[in-house]
Structure formats: C-alpha cells, structure tokens
Amino acid sequence: MRRFIGIFEKHSAALIVFGLVVAFGSTSTGTFATGSNIENIARQISLDAPMVFGQAVVLIAGGIDISVGSTMAMAAAIAIGLQPYGTLTAVAAALLFGLAVGVVNGLLVTRGRIVAFVATLGTMSVVRGLLLTYTGQRSLSGQDPAFAWWGGGQIGPVPVSLLVVLALLGVLWVFLGHTREGRALYAIGGSKDAAFLGGVSVDRGLMVAFSISGALAAVSGVLVASRLNSASVQLGADAPLMSISAALIGGASLLGGKGGIIGAFFGVLALGILNNGMNLLGVPTYSQIAIRAMILIAIVAIDALGTALRRRDLAQGRITQ
C-alpha cells in the first residue's frame, strides 16, 4: 500500500493522463483521437496553463492563491478595454495589473501576517468588484484583429498560445530547479522556520511566489481575451478550484514543499482531457462538476495519507529527512 501511494504521488498526473487517453480513446465516439480534437485540447489547456503554473509556484512555497480567477478576468477586461490606446499598451497594463495583485497578496501575507487563504480571498472580492465597475457588468469586444492571433492563431499545426505556454514552462523549470530563489521556495514550503534558520529570506520568497502567480494569472487572462476577442464578468468563476486541482494532480501539496512545473503541465493536461472527453460523451454539466470534485478529494486524501505514512516512518527511524 505504501509503495503504491508513493508511486502515485510521484507520477499521478502522468498516470491520470494515460488512463484518460486510454479510456476516451477506446470509446465509440470516434472523435477523441482526431487531429482537430487534439488541437482543441491543446488550445484549451494553453489558456489555463499559465494560471496553473502560478498556482503551483505558490503551493510549493506553502501558500495558496484564491484570487487567480478574478485577476485573470480583470486582466482580460483591461487587455480588451484599453485597446483604443494601443494593443501593446493594453496588454502591458493587463500584465502589470496582475503583477500588482500578486504584490498586494504577498504584502498581506508577509507584512500583514494574514493567512494566505484569507488574504487572497479578500483580494479576489476586491478585484471582482473592480471588474464589475470597470465593465459596467457588460461584455467587452476587441477592436484589433491582430490581437486575436495570440489566442486563436497557429504556426503550422501548433497553436500560438501553446508555444507561449511551452516558453513559460521552460523559464519556470529553470527558475525552480536551477536558481537559488527557486530552490528556496521548496525550503519555505517544507518548513518556514527551518528555512529561516537556514538563512532563507522567507518573506522575500513568498513575495516572489505571489507576484509570479498574479502575473501568470494575467497572462492567462490576456490569452483568453485574445482567443475570444472579448471579455466578460463571467470569466474565471471556477478558476481557483481548477488551478488548485491541476497543481495537486501534478504533484503539488496543500502542505507545501512539493511539486514542479512539468507536473503542473501534466495536471492541466489531465483536466483538459477529462473535460473534453466528458463533453464528447455528453456527460451532464452537474455530473462533470461532481466528477472533478471527487478527483480532487481523492488526490488530497492520497497526499495526506502519504504525508502521514512518511511522518510515521520518520518517527520510527525508518527514513531520514
């Protein structure tokens, strides 16, 4: 049992992706493995992936970011609404807004000493209020056809948005695994006290993590706005749950100190395949919500059980930390 849990914790995302591909690929719909459907999956996950990457970084550092959905929606509205001043200006303003939300979250957690869940829940509400005020509760339409290329265009058979995601994946993989700041996030998530005693600047690390999350949520917002060439107040309503679920499936933990960007990518891919397959099979929306919730509960339960077993083994002297 312990061995199975260990294997699943390390490779949960890849195992789920493989299982879903086999399950949906063997259905009688005959449409899952087509080129157009694979392109559809790739395009959809590329819109969510930057936000999931940011959530994974915060989870690694021992935090959580509930404000990602509101940040994404507001960034999309800014990217569309400011286009009369130039598309480049609009996109830059959207990304800066996301970064600013991340900085505020970081300050609330590090300076205000507010629990991350509560702090980001508060900023989520504030940003959602700003969104409703800015849009007047109306949908906004884009005015620049070139802007739509980033979310809807492709180079050869590959969606442009997927190329953007792969570039972000490479940068974050290097950051987390090959820089001092990135490795420090794992130490902070593992134990803030131990990291502090080891000379790690805990507050600085948390500021970096939340800033990255805010900025990447804005990237998702810009890509979504580009794909739809519009923005609405309904965007991002289920983004917190989705991003947390994908990051946890990818190997992150609510307890911090675990996970990675490659795993997060496989996590969002798993959810993308799951959603696509259920849509093809005509699974009702309410059933889809229940299925995703059950998967999240199972992943969290396995993570908690694995942590409990490791602590017991450590207490009994079977393993060394």
Specify if 115 maps to a domain: yes
Specify if 273 maps to a domain: yes
Mean per-residue pLDDT, 242-258: 90
**Distance of alpha carbon 264 from alpha carbon 243, whole angstroms:** 9
Specify if 59 maps to a domain: yes
Average pLDDT of every residue of the chain: 89
* Count of domains observed in the chain: 1
Give the confidence band of 97 by pLDDT, cuts at 50, 70, 90. Answer: very high
Specify if 3 maps to a domain: no
User: Pick the residue with more confidence: 179 or 37?
Assistant: 179
CATH number at residue 234: 1.10.3470
In the prediction, which pLDDT does 125 show? 96
In the prediction, which pLDDT does 132 show? 95
Specify if 320 maps to a domain: no
> Which residues constitute the domain of residue 78?
8-314
Specify if 174 maps to a domain: yes
First-to-last C-alpha distance (Å) of the chain: 21
Bridge-based pairing of strands 154-155 and 158-159 is antiparallel
233, 135 Cβ separation under 8 angstroms? yes
pLDDT at 276 over 80: yes
Specify if 309 maps to a domain: yes
In the prediction, which pLDDT does 296 show? 81
What is the biggest distance separating any 2 CA atoms in the chain, rounded to whole angstroms?
Answer: 66
Burial of residue 130 (CB within 10 Å: 0-12, 13-18, 19+) is: middle
Give the confidence band of 301 by pLDDT, cuts at 50, 70, 90. Answer: confident
The pLDDT tens digits for 50-60 are: 999 999 999 99
Q: Which of 208, 192, 257, 194 is nearest to 107 (CA)?
A: 208
In the prediction, which pLDDT does 124 show? 97
Mean per-residue pLDDT, 298-316: 75
Specify if 2 maps to a domain: no
Burial of residue 122 (CB within 10 Å: 0-12, 13-18, 19+) is: middle
